[in-house]
Chain A
Amino acid sequence: MSPSELLTLIVGVALTVMVFSYILGDRLFFGIATHILIGVSAAFLALVVMQKVILPYLVLPLAEPNGPGFWLALVPLALSILMILMFFRRGTQAGAIPLAFLGGALAALAIVGITRGTLAPQILSMLGRFEPDQLMREAQPQWSAILGAVMILLGVISVLFVFHHRGQSKAGEVVRPVFLEGVGSIGQIFIGITFGALFVGLFSSALIALISSLSDIIQFIRLWF
């Protein structure tokens, strides 16, 4: 093990132990570790943004007044200056303009993207299961396929009713019919199944990270004993 690797291991183990001190109720070392993380991440992020975004996309075009991108770069420059004005009390209102620009553009992208990339394909996929070639094979009904298609359709609809239910209950005073309540309960079952899988997935990911951290600590200890 090279000295740099050893140093990396020592730093890593020390930081890991500091984070795990949280289990014992410690706040100081845990706080130090998290603040180191924030400081290093912020600096690294700032460096990457400066070097990979601001310099090539904004500064370089502006550095060439005769270049094709000069005039185009003035707009983001103005918006960026407005954004910087948010530092000052009187400039907070000016900061709303670049934010509005971002919000509007991303909203438009979302409209097209969600429609073409999620809603349409998912609904078509759901309905596509009812196509005859999916349900019949050699003139024989495929009962498992039929059952699956019906279950998926009903499941998705019932989950959507759960959304409906939540929206109504927030407003209050709206009493849902028993039928909708029943459908919503079925939807809750499907959501519960999905959440259960997500829960296990998250725990699995966290467990792998925990085992990795513990393995590093044990490996470090074994180096000395």
Chain B
Amino acid sequence: MKRPIPLIVGALSGLIVLAAMFIVPQGGGILAIVLNWVIIVAGAALLVAIASLVLTHVRFIAKGKKGFLLSLVLVISFITTLALGLLLGVDRPSFLKFVGAIIRPIETALLGLVALVMMSAAMKIFRERGWSSLTVSFGVSAIIFLILGLGFPQNLNIPVLNEVIRFVEGLPMIGARGLLIGIGIGLLLMAFRVLFGMEGFGND
């Protein structure tokens, strides 16, 4: 059973935003106020999520759960960064360099790992999924775009080949457009469900 108050609040905020967007340009003022609230509440939600994360790991450490050493690493790095930020200021270039020096290599290496995983996945994909119009077209498309990515055909500078290449490069647009429209329709329906109180919030 969905609780009524969240449903009413959700529907009300949505209707206000909708109304503000249809009353142009006077609605802009109302919209600005509501969207400011949205930004503040979203920020508060983010802070709550971060606090929850840290508290969970603190609890792990206190209870000595398995893997609490990693929790300790997390909490120490969190407290250190927080202290430095409060001490130096968020906009301080030195602080930004410190944060960048840690985040950037780890994130880049993690994305690099994706390449390694994809290599092994490429071997398995056909064995796992079998032959179908989707997998065959996927495989052929991937091979063609890999060849194009190598740059050899483009460097040949053959006009006809260049035309063919451009035609081939435009093919993914068709599927992407279909996907965009399909996803758009799906999101639209979901948004209407939210507005009409057919979707619950929180623990509903």
Contacts and interface: CB of A to CB of B under 8 A. Distances in A.
Interface of A: 4, 7-8, 11-13, 15-16, 19-20, 22-23, 31-54, 57-58, 72-73, 75-76, 79-80, 83-84, 86-87, 92-93, 95-112, 114-115, 118-119, 122-123, 126, 151-152, 155-160, 162-163, 185-207, 209-214, 216
Contacts of B141: 192-197
Contact of B11 (A11, A104, A122): A104
B152 to A, nearest CB: 15
Contact of B77 (A19, A36, A106, A155): A36
Contact of B136 (A7, A79, A192): A192
A200 B142 contact: yes
B115 A103 contact: no
Contact of B97 (A8, A39, A100, A122): A8
Contacts of B23: none
A38 to B, nearest CB: 6
A6 B57 CA distance: 32
Interface residues on chain B, size class? 35 or more
Given A11-B105, A95-B202, A119 B138 contact: no
Contacts of A189: 133-134, 137
A174 B101 CA distance: 55
Contact of A43 (B48, B78, B172, B203): B78
Helix, strand, loop or mixed for chain A's interface?
Answer: helix
Contacts of B11: 104
B178 A39 contact: no
Contact of B3 (A93, A101, A186, A203): A93
Contact of A103 (B21, B110, B111, B201): B201
24 contacts: A19-B112, A40-B99, A44-B103, A46-B82, A57-B40, A92-B203, A93-B3, A96-B3, A96-B201, A102-B41, A104-B11, A104-B12, A105-B17, A109-B17, A114-B188, A152-B173, A155-B174, A191-B134, A193-B141, A193-B172, A193-B175, A194-B172, A196-B145, A203-B115
Contact of B191 (A4, A44, A107, A214): A107
Nearest to A43: B81
A88 B137 CA distance: 52
B172 to A, nearest CB: 4
Contacts of B177: 122, 126, 152, 155-156, 159
> By CB atoms of chain A within 10 A, which of B75, B107, B175, B199 has the most?
B175
Nearest to B43: A53
B107 to A, nearest CB: 7
A119 B48 CA distance: 35
A210 B44 CA distance: 36
A185 B134 CA distance: 8
B73 interface: yes
A148 B202 CA distance: 47
A83 B108 CA distance: 34
Contacts of A108: 13-18, 21, 191, 195
Interface in B1-40: 3, 5-7, 9-18, 21, 33-40
Given A39-B74, A110-B191, A192 B184 contact: no
Contact of A97 (B9, B47, B48, B195): B9
Nearest to A126: B177
Contact of A104 (B14, B33, B106, B179): B14
Contacts of A95: 202
A16 B111 CA distance: 11
B123 interface: no
Nearest to B135: A192
A192 B79 CA distance: 46
Contacts of B53: 38, 42
B134 A75 contact: no
B45 interface: yes
